[in-house]
Structure 1
Amino acid sequence: MIRILIFLAVVFALGLGFAWLADRPGEMLVTFNGYQYQVTLMVAAVAIVAVVAAVMIAWWLIKSLWNSPYTISRYFRVRRRDRGYQALSTGMIAAGAGDGALARKKTKEAAKLISSDQEPLINLLDAQASLLEGDHEGAREKFERMLDDPEMRLLGLRGLYLEAERLGDRNAARHYAGRAAAVAPQLAWAAESTLEELTERGDWDGALKLVEAQKSTRQIERDAANRRRAVLLTAKAQALVDSDPNAARTAALEANKLAPDFAPAAVIAANMLFRQNDVRKGSKILET
Structure 2
Amino acid sequence: MIRILLFLAVVFALGLGFAWLADRPGEMVVTFSGYQYQVSLMVAAVAVVAVVAAVMIVWWLLKALWNSPYTISRYFRVRRRDRGYQALSTGMIAAGAGDGALARKKTKEAAKLIRSDQEPLIHLLEAQASLLEGDHEGAREKFETMLDDPEMRLLGLRGLYLEAERLGDRNAARHYAGRAAAMAPQLAWAAESTLEDLTGRGDWDGALKLVEAQKSTRQIERDAANRRRAVLLTAKAQSLIDSDPNAAKTAALEANRLRPDFAPAAVVAAKLLFRQNEVRKGAKILEAAW
TM-score normalised by structure 2 residue count? 0.95
Runs of at least 4 residues of structure 1 off by over 4 A? 278-287
1:285 deviates by 26
Using the TM superposition, give the Cα deviation of residue 96 of structure 1 relative to its aligned residue in structure 2, in angstroms: 0.4
* Range with greater deviation from structure 2 (216-225 or 57-66): 216-225
Consecutive unaligned residues of structure 2, counting only runs of 5 or more, are none
> 1:33 Cα shift?
2.4
> What is the CA-CA distance between 1:269 and the residue it aligns to?
1.3
User: Counterpart of 1:277 in 2: which secondary structure?
Assistant: coil
Quote the residue 1:218 is aligned against.
Answer: 218
More deviation in 128-137 or 26-35?
26-35
Distance 1:151 1:27 in 2: 73
Q: Quick one: structure 1 residues 286 and 136, their matched pair in 2 at CA, closer, same or farther if it must change by over 3 Å?
A: closer
CA distance in 2: counterparts of 1:166 and 1:150, whole angstroms: 25
Q: Tell me, what secondary structure is at the counterpart of 2:276? A: helix
Residue of structure 2 equivalent to 1:141: 141
When normalised by structure 1's length, the TM-score is: 0.95
Distance 1:38 1:120, change over 3 A: same
Secondary structure in 1 aligned to 2:202? coil
Task: Describe the superposition over 1:134-156 as per-residue Cα deviations: whole angstroms up to 9, x where unpaired.
Answer: 00011111111111121211111
- Summarize deviations over 1:72-103 as a string: whole Å, max 9, x none: 11111100000000000000000000000000
User: How big is each residue's C-alpha offset from its partner over 1:173-199, in whole Å with a ceiling of 9 and x where there is no partner?
Assistant: 000000111111111111110000000
What CA distance in whole angstroms lies between the structure 1 residues aligned with 2:194 and 2:285?
49
User: Which range is displaced more, 34-43 or 111-120?
Assistant: 34-43
Please report how far the alpha carbon of residue 244 of structure 1 lies from its aligned counterpart in structure 2 after TM superposition: 0.5
Q: For residue 34 of structure 1, report the CA deviation from its aligned partner.
A: 2.2
Cα displacement (A) at 1:46: 0.6
Q: CA deviation at 1:61?
A: 0.3
- Residues 259-280 of structure 1 deviation map (CA, whole Å, 9 limit, x = unaligned): 1221111121111111111699
Listed one character per residue, the Cα deviations across residues 208-236 of structure 1 (whole Å, up to 9, x for unaligned) are: 00111111111111111111111100110
**Cα 1:286–1:86, aligned 2, differ >3 Å: closer, same or farther?**
closer
Residue equivalent to 2:33: 33
Unmatched 5+ stretches in structure 1 = none
- Aligned residues with identical type, % of pairs: 91
Residues in 2 aligned to 1:2 and 1:286: alpha-carbon distance in whole angstroms: 76
Q: Distance in 2 between matches of 1:259 and 1:166?
A: 38
- Alpha-carbon distance change, 144 to 98 in structure 1, aligned in 2, over 3 angstroms: same
Secondary structure of 2:75's partner?
helix
Helix, strand or coil: the match of 1:190?
A: helix
Deviates more, 1:84-93 or 1:184-193: 184-193
Q: CA deviation at 1:283?
A: 21
1-side partners of 2:281 and 2:181: how far apart? 47
Moved more, 110-119 or 265-274: 265-274
